[in-house]
Chain A
Amino acid sequence: MTSDPRIADALARLPDYLGSHVLVSLTALALGIAVSFPLALASARRPALRALLLAATSVVQTIPGLALLALFYPLLLGISALCERAFGTGFSALGFLPAVLALTLYSMLPVLRNTITGLTGVDPAVTEAALGVGMTRRQSLTMVELPLAVPVIMAGIRTAAVWVIGTATLSTPIGQVSLGNYIFAGLQTQNWVFVLFGCLAAALLAIVVDQLLALVESGARTRRRGRVIAGSLGLVLVVLGALAPALSRPGATIVIGSKPFAEQYILAALIEQRLNAAGLATTRRDGLGSSVILSALAAGEIDVYVDYTGTIWANAMHRTAAGSRDEVLDGVTNWLAQQHGIRTLGKLGFENAYALALPRRRAQALGTASIADLAPHAQKLSIAGDYEFFARPEWPAVRDAYGLTFREQRQMQAEFMYPAVAAGDVDVIAAYTSDGRIAQYDLVVLADPKHAIPPYDAILLVSPRRATDRALLDALQPLVGAIDVTLMREANMRGTSGGGGSPEAAARWLWTEIQGIAGKRSDGSR
């Protein structure tokens, strides 16, 4: 069973992922209890406040976990900027903080609702007796009402714990390492072992924490101190076990970022291998959202990652008119340097552009070689793109340039987009030019004679605070201009489990190829 290298790989990442997951979810749970418990006490005898709180927390609950987590990033970024202006020091708006805050909000409803239900459910004859024997309101609460409400309150805390541990898997895109890293990376690289491993690990953690809380609860209810101690000790052990890898991690490391798709994981692995080979310590922040990652670099929360000129051109600079590859590269390089102090180390050598693609046979049948040829047929056709594509400025640009109106427009994960177009479920997809699956599924990339889609050269970006870090820049220099599109496509094929490999293995292969090419070049020059 363990002969599968993917399981060994998953196990090797477990201490880091599990540790961060426990840390972020239990911090959020503790914070959630600390906030909602006093609120519940204050509102137990105030029906108006109670209704308001329950309504507010219920609304929070209806926001999808992913969206709630994502919303906290720009919010905190804004606050951090204000802080920086006011006190001269900001804080990290990436990762731990937004994840904890969003999950805290998520944990509040069950704690709040159950505490209120538990307190209002106490037999009025008993509270009357509490006053009658001479207790103050506060004594009645602490000596009688709360102890009697403990089972209901603990049930709420257990629900919150399970919710938070489950939802914490969604904190990967905002830069918080969690068991979700398995799931996000696994989905992108078709590594189903990873996906399953992440799900099982999160479920197991939820069950363990739930059972430990149940032990504490039953101990508190039946007043067996042994159980309370055993359950609390178990929780403390879980937290300590989670903290151990975090504490042993070296402090001053270079943080490598990546967006949530296979190519990015491979390039991040390649960068990591190069830096480690140069004796530099590294940490990874994988699967960051596309909108999050640039501001994270600008803020120095990550130090290096690979982006694409067209992405920055369109999304960050809000330019609609596309230029030539060099014009766009120069524009982006200058803008990044002036606006954020980000250093552009150079092009890797390949483009990962959006391009409209369809199966070769279909293209021949329709007689289309370019987007212009496609336009007359578009009304009968459906198009699929990833979650970003239709929201990006180049979609209206290409649509208007060629007068495209499709019958149907669908969003799907890239992994499913390629098989879908190959199977004829959709007619055209917005593919990535460096994707190995273009060759795998025998797709044709349509030409863009009007240059409506900007060029997407892969570029190496370095954060302002590392912009002059000689050791770092020297270690990365060999990658500049070293990867052409065929090499990257091949690496992308190898980097997915469908291709039988892992991002790390693909990165190692890529490096030997780069060296081979460099060797041949130097041989030739001799």
Chain B
Amino acid sequence: MRTVTCPSCGAPFRFRGASSVVGVCGYCKATLVREGVDVANIGVQAELLEDDTPIQLGTVGRHRNQQFSVVGRIQYKYGAGVWSEWHVLFPDGKSAWLSDASREFTISYLAPPTNVPGFAELKPDQELLIGKERYRVTNLEQAEVVAGEGELPFKFESGWKADVADLRGPGTRFATIDYSEAVPHIYTGEKLPFDVFGFTNLRDLSQVGFVKKRARAFKCAGCGAPIEKHLTTTEVVACSSCGTVTDVTGEVGQLVQRNERNAVAANPTLPVGSTGNWNGFPWEIVGFMRRGITVEGVKYQWGEYLLHNVQQGYAWLSEYDGHFSFIKATAELPKVDKVSLTGRKPDARYLGKKFRHFQRAKARVDQVVGEFYWRVKVGDTAICDDYVAPPLILSAEKTDNEVSWSLGEYVDNAKLWKAFQLQGPPVQAKGVAPNQPSPHDGKVFRYWAVFLVAAVIGFVLMGIIETFQRDKPATEVAFDMPTRGGERVVSPVFELGDGAGRAVVLDTNSNVSGRWLAMGLQLTNVDNGRAWRADREIGFKKINDIDVGDSRDVAELHGVPGGRYTLTVEVKTSAPRNDSFVTGRVKVYREPNGVSNWVLMSGYLLLFPLVAWGRKRSFEAKRWAESDYAPGEE
């Protein structure tokens, strides 16, 4: 650590890092360059652009259990706005860069030189091997230095431009390749959530970002109507009258794109400027754009609201046919399967979930209203791939210089209306959204489970009832008597169960052949003398010279209560008459029921899971009807 005197104003300036080469005087903005033991003033540093970063010189944080201090920064400008690279020092003298781009924080360390393709050879989503890790190019930009403050490890000038490639690796891994030198500088590190750094000595977050009370007034570069900039990070404002896009980064608005189409046609459902609490943070809707795709000549449009929160940065709320999703950039790079075995485009994996590819389309910006942190223009296009795992939707947007991934979650309209205190009832959603949770999810299983339980219980009950009631033969009566008639056989007394009204079956098997017999069967209650009688014919008759009939006969008696009975068997007549004998047995038992009632019950209950399954299938069919995989689509 070394303290020097500013040659310009005489104020003390302390270099904390041994590797720090440049310092910017905090009082007079003089740029001090260490030259041996001396310092030289090489000019006054330009003003930093106002931004909403919560980091400041002196902020302390931690990375991998090592504390660091923020000692300087370089502010850059690029196509998507302004970002700051904060120079941080660790107690052992090691330095790193902490980047804050719209609340996306990365920390990276200078890596050993590696052969990498030239900047012009890189393309978004291209895979590179850095060290032993595979990275994918996510962003290619030309960054311009705005200004710096504090102490920094190299000389820089305002307006100096550098080609920069951002890459994402496995998990939280992140890399930047800086092509400003002949040998590209490679920095590798991690992209981590704000909270992980455990920052202290931050700027007062309540005073950062919003400039509402002193919103800067501009004139629309198209129609001259008054427009306002509410956020320090806003790059452009799209006029609500004519839709013209005006650059508001300077003192006077500059034309970015003249539009004559009335942007009111965008007609956002949620007014720009609305504020509401969502997921525990206050959000403001600062911009709205309507985007569209054309599929087979049919135009489909949806709305995207840009939301801002000073701690969380930016988020999106998408609206399609009354369906809303809350969307944020992914913390890690999702993994896309290399091959698909289903004939579909490969699925994606993120947060341990599998997302099925839904659609690929070229989306175009059709209308814009409000403030944006990048230079949005009507007509901007991107190739969008959507992957769904309801209620989540994972989207990859690819432009010529960037691949960005975002994760959306389906939003309940009633909650949204309440959160943003919107007037009137929530809009009614039409159809099924790609990531709309199915109201049938998990329910079909419940239906099947109940059906199976009911079927098993029914089967057991049936078995129990049959076991106690049915058809052990109450008795068997053997007979052997002349066929001429006149004799009878009376069984011993036997017990007949109650049977709850079931019929009594008299099942006769005999040796009759070539003739028929008229038989009488009578059940007699030995206690009260009440009798039930069945007169039957058993045997064969000749019809067209064929013996037709059966040596068996089955009769049933109804209304026979339980009790003690005898069975009387007699032969009354026979044809042809002769003196032969007939022998056989009569079994007496209650009518068994079989499984018909159980089958009937199970069949009825089966309708419910089938209907539930059908409804689920129907819901999913509606969901996929607008995908690349609708029935009939290739």
A and B, one complex? no
